[in-house]
Amino acid sequence: MAQIYTSVGGRKLTKAIAQLDGVQAALDEVVFEIAVRAEEILQQHRADGHAEILVEEGRIDKYVVLSDDRGQRAAMSIEYGRQASVIVREDKRGNKYLDYLPEMDGLYVLATASNLPKKRKGKVKLD
């Protein structure tokens, strides 16, 4: 009878396979292609936003990320859309004012770039 090993050298078999040079090279290629397509899609819709496409690397995995440094969950709104809302903003002098954000359909930048189905997460409501 055959014996099936679930680990190699003390590591899980899936982790050992994922760390192979050929697997990592293929992952680099795929991540690069997705990032380039995502950047192209984002550029088609960018007016003056701060959003950008980044590639993040974990210990084994690599991630294509839609990032927006404004801290207002704008990346999520760009990907999935948002409901119309009014938010309080503050200028450099500390003056507060209301800002109206119109409803926006999602662009599905990452989903489209990676050929994944566009799953609607519900429009983001900024509070």
List of residues 6+ apart from 13 with CB closer than 8 A: 5, 6, 7
Lowest mean pLDDT among 4-8, 46-50, 93-97: 46-50
CA-based nearest residue to 124, from 44, 41, 68 = 68
Predicted TM-score (pTM) of the model is 0.75
Paired residues of 67 in beta bridges: 52
Q: Which residue has the tokens 């040079």?
A: 21
pLDDT, tens digit, for every residue of 7-63? 888 889 889 899 999 999 999 999 999 999 999 999 998 766 788 999 999 989 999
Judged on CB neighbours under 10 Å (0-12, 13-18, 19+), 111 is middle
Torsion region of 104: left, alpha or beta (phi above 0 gives left; psi -120 to 50 gives alpha): beta
Q: What is the pLDDT of residue 56?
A: 96
